[in-house]
Amino acid sequence: MDAAETAFAKINLALHVRRREADGYHAIETLFAFAEDGDTLQLTDEPGLQIAGPFSGALAEGDNLVLRAARGFAGLTGRAIDGGFLLDKKLPVAAGIGGGSADAAAALRLLCARDGVDVTDRHVAALAASLGADVPACLLSVPVRGEGRGDRLEPVVGLPSGQALLLVNPMQPLATGPVFAAWDGVDRGPLGTGDPLAAARAGRNDLEAPATAVLPVIAEVLASLRASAGADLVRMSGSGATCFALFDNIESRDLAARRLASQYPDWWQLPTRLR
């Protein structure tokens, strides 16, 4: 087997936390977008999950979301798990860009293609939601608005595909739980509708402040991106610590990437474009 899928990096152009629910989850409103690049997942003849790539050491080759997705898909279709997966882990872990969720979603897309199942089938969507709040959006990997836990999705039209994008992470993992726990509980209002980029610019990420309280270097990442010529929208993605900037053009993005690489050689970055 040699079929492969990109597990596209996820960014939250805006993320509004509206309230904490009785079950402990948070009601959010967010605009999901995706980079053209990410991890790579491949079907193999060898059972289980093999992990390679620059961030392979951060993951165990035992039970993870890719294998959970495969078991769930086997239960859904009645077909036994045949073969396994090779994951080229190019994205940092616990970074706010949907790494594990994107990998699980890529596994579902691979298995759907293998077995002739429509990836938009409601049963596949339900399986994706059972794996994590970001997995349904990552399954589609196109711009969508997410509400509820982030898994109630609506299509978004008008986001400029191909816009220059730079992702930057200070190479310090940040777990989601402590960031949500540090949110102050204040509802600062809804996420706008209409043009998605305008709504994103007028919006915010309510997790930036609590994430920065947990990991102060995030403020330095954001400030460095905001100081970059041509940076349009600068924000933290998800619960951090990855931050991103949209740029007017590829040249401005690459100039910023070179400057940051020189000033902060220990930071991870990914120059890419919106998918």
Q: Output the DSSP codes for 65-96.
A: HHHHHHHHHHHHH-PPP-SEEEEE--SPSSSS
Q: Can you tell me the distance from the alpha carbon of 26 to that of 5, in angstroms, rounded to the nearest whole number? A: 31
Q: Which amino acid is at 18?
A: R
pLDDT at 59: 82
Model confidence pLDDT, tens digit, residues 177-221: 999 999 999 999 999 999 999 999 999 999 999 999 999 999 999
- 80 band by pLDDT with thresholds 50, 70 and 90: confident
Q: Is the pTM of this model over 0.75?
A: yes
CA distances in angstroms from 124 to 102, 128, 178, 197, listed in the order given? 15, 6, 30, 29
Contact 192, 203 (CB under 8 A): yes
Q: What percent of the chain has pLDDT over 90?
A: 92
Neighbours of 66 (CB within 10 A): 27
pLDDT at 61: 58
pLDDT at 166: 98
Instruction: Name residues whose C-beta falls within 8 Å of residue 179's C-beta, 6 or more positions apart in sequence.
Output: 207, 210, 211, 214, 239, 240
CA dihedral 213, 216, 221, 223 (to 10 degrees): 80
Token code pair at residue 186: 């204040």
Q: What percent of the chain has pLDDT over 70?
A: 98
Model confidence pLDDT, tens digit, residues 52-73: 999 998 886 556 899 999 999 9
Q: What are the beta bridge partners of residue 7?
A: 39
pLDDT at 62: 57
- Mean predicted confidence (pLDDT) in 265-271: 98
Cis peptide before 241 (omega within 30 of 0): yes
List the domain boundaries for the chain. 4-155, 164-273
Does 4-155 carry CATH code 3.40.50.10860? no
CA distances in angstroms from 43 to 6, 9, 83, listed in the order given? 12, 20, 7
Model confidence pLDDT, tens digit, residues 112-121: 999 999 999 9
Token code pair at residue 201: 């610019």
pLDDT at 82: 86
Model confidence pLDDT, tens digit, residues 154-166: 999 999 899 999 9
Contact 150, 30 (CB under 8 A): yes
Task: Say if residue 24's pLDDT is above 90.
Answer: no
Residue given tokens 């589609």 in the structure block: 140
What positions carry a catalytic annotation? 10, 134
Model confidence pLDDT, tens digit, residues 90-131: 999 999 999 999 999 999 999 999 999 999 999 999 999 999
Q: Which amino acid is at 54?
A: P
For 165, what's the count of Cα atoms within 13 Å in the CB-facing half-sphere?
28
User: Which run of H or of E encompasses 268?
Assistant: strand 268-273
Check residues 38 and 80 and name the one with the higher pLDDT: 38
Does 164-273 carry CATH code 1.10.10.10? no
- Mean predicted confidence (pLDDT) in 71-86: 93
Supply the mean pLDDT for the chain. 95
User: Which run of H or of E encompasses 210?
Assistant: helix 208-214
